[in-house]
């Protein structure tokens, strides 16, 4: 019924704190109070996690006052932070990942593969799900982890661990896999589902950084300094790493297929967000269908814990995931109130959806970047037409323009397209829906789509189903009618370093600090040139009001504006 990530409320990216605001939102969306719950589920075993942390040793420079040494801390936080005194059901981390994929896949039975950095002692797990049950039958133990291998090379390439892995994946197609032999020295495949890292090259267990001195020696270059120039060498290392990851995942998926004899595969864990590897597993691997949980990283492991709790308490599997529009939404009436309070001049298209869409298409055709705010916020790292930046994918200058004016991110990273589901096969080598942008495929379009086609001719499309996202699909259809192109550039509505916008105030703030030309807030359209002249002066106050409002889990503007559903 509802799901959201805490970072979208607190505006702290990857916020690791107890998700109090997200929890409150879910209760409100469900229309119940905390006393309406049967249980609170938690997604990892604090005791097992602590035993690994103790084995790894107290990190250098850590405070001697270590609250994390208390395995009761999560329970205490849930009791005190949420005010919950009922049962707390705790499930192992990889079982939570596995359940988050299988239970929501809609498959009656499937193989399950989870791959991440580490959860408790486990880094990779293999299992199967059937009906209301998920079981894991093999695992790889810390410190041997594909997630940590990828993170280590991400760090060596000068990007931030746990955040820059996407950048490495985006850089890879520019390079050649000429370091594949060196990469193979870092990890050796074992029997069955096993593999081992050569720990001589790594230092993440006890050190201050991810890699040891041996790693730069192996590749023959010093680590790249963050924000410094990206050279051919970095592209080739990224390509080699990606090739190695795909090679291992394909081999392990094949083994899992042989072992289970099942035609379908579910995946979760941070490594399952490697959409390039997912595409290869599906195309070249033995499985017929693949379901990747859209919030595959740790932020979505709670879905699995909740599903396991549901299965335990009811003996039945939860309903499959039908879409990820599960976060807060604002009505046009609330947005009208906000706009009136700010004095911002907006075009009002209430009860005139077709006119709104034509006005948006006019602006897309003139090369504008549109901030598109409609319906509930999406769960997971991808914007899927709820909080998206949209633009014309045929415009050869659009990638640079988006990067310069809005995203302020590395120019090499491609943008993804949304395409009307019924037209996807005309433009991509794709024979099934891809509603969550979780795999890449070849662009086969008769149109030239420079803004969304990567250097290797691939793209990461979102197929848009009119039944699931009617207004977004209608916009794509309106654009198609006008231009013959049923696609748009769809990138997440945020500036670099910030979480995706949640509220209308976040969207206005983002417009203020970026070069977005047009903002659509539900039925209202705001052109940048019609913003008040002193807009820039107003922004800091707006942002501060928004921030202090979200810290309390509601809007600073008025109680009513933070009505969730
Ligand atoms: Fe995880």
Question: Which tens digits make up the pLDDT trace of 431-446?
Answer: 999 999 999 999 999 9
Run of H or E including 7: helix 6-10
> CA-CA distance, 264 to 110, in Å (whole number)?
5
CB contact burial 469-480 (16+ within 10 A = b; e otherwise): bebbbbbbbbbb
Q: Quick one: which H or E segment has residue 459?
A: strand 458-459
Contact 522, 374 (CB under 8 A): yes
Interval between CA 219 and ligand 1 midpoint (Å):
29
Give 148 Cα–ligand 1 centroid separation in angstroms.
11
97 CA → ligand 1 middle, Å: 7
Q: How far is the CA of 482 from the centre of ligand 1 (A)?
A: 44
Residues 484, 91: Cα–Cα separation, whole Å: 50
What's the pTM?
0.92
Residue whose structure tokens are 């598109």: 372
- The answer to whether 271 touches 150, Cβ cutoff 8 Å, is yes
Task: Average the pLDDT over each of 181-185, 400-404, 518-522 and give the range with the smallest value.
Answer: 400-404
Q: 147 C-alpha to center of ligand 1: Å?
A: 9
Residue 101 and residue 287: Cα distance in Å, rounded?
Answer: 15
C-alpha span between 287 and 214 (Å, rounded): 38
Interval 289-304 mean pLDDT: 95
Identify the DSSP state of 127: E
Cα 199 to middle of ligand 1, angstroms: 21
CA of 519 to the centre of ligand 1 (A): 35
Asked if the model's pLDDT at residue 452 lies above 60, the reply is: yes
Of residues 535 and 226, the one with the higher pLDDT is 226
Q: What is the mean pLDDT of residues 191-217?
A: 92
Q: Provide mean pLDDT across the span 414-425.
A: 95
> CA gyration radius for the chain?
23
Q: Are 496 and 402 in contact (CB under 8 A)?
A: no
Cα–ligand 1 centroid distance for 502 (angstroms): 24
**CA 125 / ligand 1 centre spacing (Å):** 11
Q: What is the 8-class DSSP label of residue 344?
A: -
Mean per-residue pLDDT of the chain: 91
543 alpha carbon – ligand 1 mean position (Å): 32
Q: Which phi and psi angles does 206 have, rounded to 5°?
A: -125, -10
Mean pLDDT of the region 258-275: 95
Check residues 246 and 562 and name the one with the higher pLDDT. 246
Cα of 95 from ligand 1 centre, angstroms: 10
Contacts 24+ apart (CB under 8 A), 405-409: 405/369, 405/514, 405/515, 405/516, 406/369, 406/495, 406/514, 406/515, 406/516, 407/491, 407/495, 407/496, 408/495, 408/496, 408/514, 409/496
**Residues at Cβ < 5 Å from ligand 1 ion:** 116, 119, 298
- Cα of 255 from ligand 1 centre, angstroms: 22
Contact 562, 549 (CB under 8 A): yes
Instruction: Tell me if 324 sits within 8 A of 295, measured CB to CB.
Output: yes
- The rounded distance, in Å, linking the Cα atoms of 275 and 292 is 9
Q: Which two tokens stand for residue 246?
A: 């795909």
The β-bridge relationship of strands 487-492 and 264-268 is unpaired
Compute the distance from residue 124 Cα to the ligand 1 centre, in Å: 9
Sequence-distant (≥ 6) Cβ neighbours of residue 133 within 8 angstroms:
311
Residue 105: pLDDT band with limits 50, 70, 90: very high
Instruction: Determine the distance separating the centroid of ligand 1 and the alpha carbon of 270, expressed in angstroms.
Output: 6
Lowest mean pLDDT, pick from 8-22, 142-156, 465-479, 481-495: 8-22
pLDDT at 293 over 90: yes
Cα 163 to averaged position of ligand 1 atoms, centre (Å) = 14
Cα(304) to centroid of ligand 1, in Å? 11
Tell me: pLDDT of 197 over 90.
yes
Query: Buried b / exposed e across 27-55, counting CB within 10 Å, b at 16+?
Result: bbbeeeeeeebebbbbbbbbebbbebbee
Where does the pLDDT of residue 66 fall: very low under 50, low under 70, confident under 90, or very high at 90 and above? low
pLDDT score for 538 = 73
- Percentage of the chain beyond pLDDT 90 is 77
DSSP structure string for 39-73: -EEESS-HHHHHHHHHHH-PPTT--SS-GGG-TTH
Dump pLDDT digits (tens) for 8-65: 999 899 888 889 999 999 999 999 999 999 999 999 999 999 888 888 876 666 666 6
Asked whether 468 and 322 are in contact (CB, 8 A), the reply is yes
Q: How far is the CA of 58 from the centre of ligand 1 (A)?
A: 21
User: How many angstroms does the Cα of residue 297 sit away from the middle of ligand 1?
Assistant: 6
Q: Which tops the pLDDT comparison, 505 or 479?
A: 479
Question: Could you tell me the two tokens for 501?
Answer: 């916008």
| pLDDT recorded at residue 65 | 64
> 49 C-alpha to center of ligand 1: Å?
12
Query: What is the model's pLDDT at position 552?
Result: 43
Q: How far is the CA of 298 from the centre of ligand 1 (A)?
A: 5
> pLDDT tens digits, residue range 521-562?
999 999 998 887 777 677 676 666 555 544 444 433 333 333
CA of 351 to the centre of ligand 1 (A): 44
CA distance 286 to 260: 12
State the distance from the centre of ligand 1 to the C-alpha of 88, rounded, in angstroms: 20
Compute the distance from residue 339 Cα to the ligand 1 centre, in Å.
41
Q: What is the C-alpha to C-alpha distance for residues 529 and 357, in angstroms, rounded to an integer?
A: 19
Task: Tell how far the Cα of 120 is from the centroid of ligand 1, in angstroms.
Answer: 9
Residue 226 in this model has a pLDDT that exceeds 80: yes
Cα 203 to Cα 222: distance, rounded to the nearest angstrom: 16
Distance 53 CA to ligand 1 centre (A): 15
207 C-alpha to ligand 1 centroid (Å): 21
pLDDT at site 34:
93
CA 96–ligand 1 middle distance (angstroms): 9
């Amino acid at each position: 019924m509802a799901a959201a990530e805490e970072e979208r409320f607190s505006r702290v990216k990857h916020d690791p704190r107890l998700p109090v605001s997200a929890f409150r939102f879910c209760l409100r969306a469900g229309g119940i109070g905390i006393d309406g719950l049967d249980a609170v589920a938690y997604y990892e075993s604090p005791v097992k996690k602590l035993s690994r942390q103790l084995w790894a040793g107290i990190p250098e420079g850590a405070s001697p006052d270590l609250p994390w040494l208390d395995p009761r801390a999560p329970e205490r936080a849930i009791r005190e932070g949420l005010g919950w005194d009922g049962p707390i059901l705790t499930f192992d981390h990889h079982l939570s990942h596995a359940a988050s994929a299988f239970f929501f896949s809609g498959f009656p039975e499937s193989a399950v593969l989870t791959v991440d950095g580490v959860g408790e002692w486990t880094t990779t797990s293999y299992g199967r799900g059937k009906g209301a049950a998920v079981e894991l039958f093999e695992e790889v133990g810390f410190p041997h982890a594909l997630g940590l291998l990828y993170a280590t090379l991400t760090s060596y390439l000068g990007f931030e661990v746990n955040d820059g892995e996407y950048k490495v994946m985006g850089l890879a197609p520019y390079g050649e896999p000429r370091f594949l032999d060196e990469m193979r020295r870092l990890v050796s495949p074992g029997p069955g589902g096993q593999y081992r890292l050569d720990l001589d090259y790594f230092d993440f267990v006890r050190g201050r950084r991810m890699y040891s001195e041996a790693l730069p020696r192996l590749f023959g270059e010093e680590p790249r300094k963050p924000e410094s120039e990206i050279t051919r060498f970095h592209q080739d290392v990224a390509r080699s790493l990606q090739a190695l990851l795909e090679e291992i995942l394909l081999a392990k998926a094949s083994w899992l297929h042989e072992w289970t004899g099942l035609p379908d595969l579910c995946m979760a864990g941070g490594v399952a967000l490697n959409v390039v590897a997912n595409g290869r597993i599906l195309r070249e691997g033995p499985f017929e269908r693949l379901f990747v949980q859209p919030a595959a990283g740790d932020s979505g492991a709670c879905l699995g814990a909740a599903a396991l709790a549901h299965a335990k308490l009811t003996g039945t599997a939860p309903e499959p995931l039908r879409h990820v529009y599960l976060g807060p939404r604002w009505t046009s009436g609330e947005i009208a109130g906000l706009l009136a309070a700010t004095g911002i001049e907006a075009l009002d298209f209430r009860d005139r959806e077709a006119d709104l869409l034509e006005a948006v298409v006019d602006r897309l055709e003139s090369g504008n970047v549109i901030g598109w705010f409609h319906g509930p916020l999406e769960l997971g790292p991808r914007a899927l037409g709820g909080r998206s930046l949209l633009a014309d994918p045929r415009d050869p200058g659009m990638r640079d323009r988006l990067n310069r004016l809005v995203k302020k991110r590395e120019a090499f990273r491609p943008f993804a397209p949304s395409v009307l589901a019924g037209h996807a096969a005309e433009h991509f080598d794709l024979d099934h829906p891809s509603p969550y942008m979780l795999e890449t495929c070849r662009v086969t379009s008769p149109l030239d789509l420079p803004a969304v086609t990567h250097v290797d001719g691939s793209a990461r499309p979102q197929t848009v189903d009119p039944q699931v996202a009617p207004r977004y699909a209608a916009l794509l259809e309106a654009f198609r009618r006008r231009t013959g192109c049923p696609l748009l550039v769809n990138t997440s509505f945020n500036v670099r370093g910030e979480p995706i916008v949640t509220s209308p105030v976040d969207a206005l703030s983002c417009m203020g600090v970026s070069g977005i030309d047009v903002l659509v807030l539900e039925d209202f359209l705001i052109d940048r040139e019609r913003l008040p002249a002193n807009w820039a002066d107003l922004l800091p106050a707006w942002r501060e009001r928004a921030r202090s409002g979200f810290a309390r889990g509601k809007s600073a503007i008025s109680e009513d504006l933070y009505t969730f559903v």
